[in-house]
Amino acid sequence: MIPENRMTLQVVGRDDLTKEICQFTLARPEGGGLPAFTPGAHITIETPGGAMRRYSLVNDGAAPDTYVVAVKREPNSRGGSASMHDAALVGTTLAVDPPENDFELVKADAYLLIGGGIGITPILSMARHLKEQGKRFQLIYCTRSPEETAYLEECSALEGTIIHHDGGQLDNFYDFWDHFEEPGKEHVYCCGPSPLMEEIKAISGHWPEERVHFEDFNAVAAVREDDTPFRVTLAKSGRTIEVPADRSILEALRDAGEPTVSSCESGTCGTCKCGLIEGDVDHRDLVLMDEEKSDHIMICVSRARTGDLVVDL
């Protein structure tokens, strides 16, 4: 279901932070306040291309009249980031869900904040908040190069910050071991690309699990390298849609002009759940119970295992 409190916001500002990262400022067209949020929160935006994408909020959320997000143009964008960069111009209106926070700061004596690439966005909001509150923290920010580093000047000015550029070389990856060898009292917050997240998960294995926190908007891969095309038939209209190897069912329906309802588009929220009438499904979501998988499918991430599908749409 589409959230009843979904808002229509307008792009009132956009700023290029790097060649590939653009900052967008959103506000109500008529002005006025927006729902408050805490550091680490995100909003879900229906991009101009129709894709639903989650973006972390960078600005202060105590009493906001704007929402500020930064979006990196992904090289293999399937309609989200490229659409924002190309079509979310100043004056464009976008459908936006209210803020949610699955990456909430907890009370602690100290904090270790780790950001990689565009993953700096929730981390920076935390750093700003902790600095304002006079809390003890350290920021480690890893990117490929200074030219590709959003908010470089602000992050560099934070006391104790470590900024590491690896030049895209695996053998120049930052060595986090000194920070994790002995479990301390700090809580760790990490957001960034998969290699960084996996490294922190591995190196913090001897830490109490509740003290290491991760933000990951790509919980499920909707498209994989070995995927193959198939067809999905919509039972209510009888229309058959081709689903290419590099598109999800949801994206193929949207491309074909069929109305769709979605939110996370990563197999974690349940919004796009629909009935399965026929077919062998490769279930990739994190929502369906085992007893539901014979007659339901999450069309944002799941595909046909063999043959074609018929769905109750």
Do 211 and 118 fall within a single domain?
Answer: yes
User: Hey, which residues does 27 pair with through a beta bridge?
Assistant: 10
Alpha helices in 145-269 (DSSP H): 152-156, 177-180, 194-203, 249-255
Element spanning 23, H or E: strand 21-27
Contact 297, 309 (CB under 8 A): yes
Q: Using one digit for the tens of pLDDT, what is the confidence trace for 175-215?
A: 999 999 999 899 999 999 989 999 999 999 999 999 999 99
Residue 91 lies in a domain: yes
pTM, rounded to two decimals: 0.82
Q: Are 141 and 164 in contact (CB under 8 A)?
A: yes
Task: Single out the residue of 40, 67, 87 nearest to residue 213, CA to CA.
Answer: 40
Same domain membership, residue 244 and residue 185: no
- Residue 161, domain member (yes or no): yes
Look at the chain and report how many structural domains it folds into.
3
Per-residue pLDDT tens digits of the chain, which is 313 residues long: 456 789 999 999 999 999 999 999 999 999 999 999 999 999 999 999 888 889 999 999 999 999 999 999 987 666 688 999 999 999 999 999 999 999 999 999 999 999 999 999 999 999 999 999 999 999 999 999 999 999 999 999 999 999 999 998 888 999 999 999 999 899 999 999 989 999 999 999 999 999 999 997 655 667 888 999 999 999 999 999 999 999 999 999 999 999 988 877 888 888 899 999 999 999 998 889 999 999 999 999 999 999 999 999 9
Domain final residue, candidates 70, 96, 122:
96
Instruction: Tell me, yes or no, whether 86 and 134 share the same domain.
Output: no
Token pair for 288 = 């369906």
